[in-house]
């Protein structure tokens, strides 16, 4: 199979590298101007360097030579059997419209992360396509000084959801060969969206550390610093309400820290908070500014979506609503404006629980 990665940031290049390492042909499609210098270097040299410092890689270094490095949308999409959309989720509508003319029947489109973005792509793509959504990435890491890509963390377990749900077994069979940790599924794309960890910890971590971020001149280590016992109380309060939403849509309750342990740790007998602290110790620095995608993406695309679903099933939304209001105040912008909601995804205001279940379970 051949793969096209849409989005050449940290996550896109890391997952392209792991697919290449498995022996697959990979194309890179650049759709924005961010990381432009590195992309130009990759295109000129038709390669990029990788160091895998994750538990899988043990410092192994290798060179990735993509089959295609391009800004030509037609060439990149026609190349692929599987299209990985690894841009930020605020770009889903743009990317959906961009690739729609070139998508063909039978392709698989994987959204990392999803946040129910499959419903956006379905609006523009009129082909027999299967969608897959991840709640987070299989690997974490960073582009280092525009010279190489460092893989820093491997998630032992990676869960996916599929639309239509009936195609879950065939999609799992494909992706489990590509990524060793991708052997698990969620019931539907709404469950995956609720388990996106960034929706919870990124806005909370920034909101309650805003003065520290602005004061410390780039020396903020979010996962090590932000999540003190009182801030963990906020996460747990959010979780209690989130689990009511999950139960309303036929899913098992699972709090953030248990979900993080499940993703991040081989040994599930360990205490969830011990695992979280271990992950924090291995994490990269946090944002050096407030005006960051941790708010600009995760609030409108994650929290606003979650709050709209919670209201639909009559679950209290005071915690997410408070975070949305306060982070909007921090940035002096309305993060609800243009935010993703279940009503926006389904195209009308009069949405029912039954309609949502019908769409996500199709």
What percent of the chain shows pLDDT beyond 70?
100
User: pLDDT class for 55, splitting at 50, 70, 90?
Assistant: confident
Q: Is the pLDDT of residue 278 over 80?
A: yes
Contact yes or no for 114/42 (Cβ under 8 A): no
230 versus 362: the higher-pLDDT residue is 230
Q: What is the mean pLDDT of residues 264-276?
A: 95
Domain CATH number, residue 222 = 1.10.1040.10
Q: What is the mean pLDDT of residues 296-300?
A: 98
Domain final residue pick, 185, 218, 253:
185
Q: Is the pLDDT of residue 254 over 80?
A: yes
Same domain, 97 and 207: no
User: pLDDT class for 56, splitting at 50, 70, 90?
Assistant: confident
Same domain, 131 and 258: no
Note whether residue 190 is domain-resident.
no
Same domain, 157 and 42: yes
Beta bridge partners of 118: none
User: pLDDT class for 280, splitting at 50, 70, 90?
Assistant: confident
Same domain, 34 and 94: yes
- pTM of the predicted structure, to 2 decimals: 0.96
Domain final residue pick, 163, 185, 207:
185
Query: What total number of domains does the chain contain?
Result: 2
Same domain, 275 and 333: yes
User: Domain range holding 257?
Assistant: 195-360
Same domain, 282 and 312: yes
Q: Which of 79-93, 136-150, 192-206 has the lowest mean pLDDT?
A: 136-150
Same domain, 141 and 267: no
Domain CATH number, residue 123 = 3.40.50.720
Same domain, 61 and 13: yes
Same domain, 127 and 200: no
Note whether residue 326 is domain-resident.
yes
Same domain, 145 and 275: no
The per-residue pLDDT for 58 is 87
Same domain, 180 and 298: no
The per-residue pLDDT for 353 is 96
Note whether residue 82 is domain-resident.
yes
């Amino acid at each position: 199979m051949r793969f096209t990665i849409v989005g050449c940031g940290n996550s896109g290049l890391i997952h392209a590298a792991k697919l290449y390492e498995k022996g697959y042909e990979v194309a890179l499609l650049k759709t924005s101007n961010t990381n432009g210098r590195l992309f130009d270097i990759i295109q000129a040299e038709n390669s990029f360097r990788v160091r895998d410092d994750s538990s899988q890689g043990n410092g192994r270094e290798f060179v990735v030579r993509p089959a295609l490095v391009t800004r030509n949308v037609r060439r990149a999409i026609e190349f692929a059997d599987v299209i990985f959309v690894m841009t930020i989720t605020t770009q889903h509508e743009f990317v959906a419209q961009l690739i729609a003319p070139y998508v063909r029947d039978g392709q698989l489109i994987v959204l990392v992360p999803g946040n129910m973005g499959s419903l956006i792509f379905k609006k523009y793509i009129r082909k027999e396509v299967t969608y897959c959504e991840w709640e987070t990435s299989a690997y974490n890491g960073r582009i280092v000084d525009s010279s190489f890509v460092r893989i820093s963390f491997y998630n032992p377990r990676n869960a996916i959801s599929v639309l239509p749900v009936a195609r879950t077994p065939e999609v799992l069979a494909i992706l489990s060969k590509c990524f060793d940790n991708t052997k698990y599924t969620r019931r539907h794309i709404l469950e995956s969206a609720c388990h996106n960890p960034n929706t919870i910890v990124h806005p909370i971590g920034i909101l309650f550390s805003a003065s520290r971020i602005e004061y410390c001149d780039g020396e903020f280590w979010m996962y090590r610093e932000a999540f003190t016992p009182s801030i963990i109380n906020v996460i747990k309060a959010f979780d209690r309400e989130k689990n009511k939403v999950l139960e309303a849509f036929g899913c098992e309750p699972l709090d953030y820290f248990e979900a993080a342990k499940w993703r991040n740790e081989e040994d599930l007998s360990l205490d969830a908070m011990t695992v979280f602290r271990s992950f924090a110790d291995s994490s990269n620095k946090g944002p050096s500014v407030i005006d960051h995608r941790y708010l600009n993406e995760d609030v409108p695309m994650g929290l606003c979506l979650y709050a709209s679903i919670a209201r639909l099933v009559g679950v209290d939304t005071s915690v997410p609503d408070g975070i949305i209001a306060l982070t909007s105040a921090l940035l002096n912008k309305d993060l609800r404006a243009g935010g993703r909601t279940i009503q926006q995804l389904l195209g009308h205001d009069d949405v029912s629980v039954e309609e949502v279940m019908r769409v996500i379970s199709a």
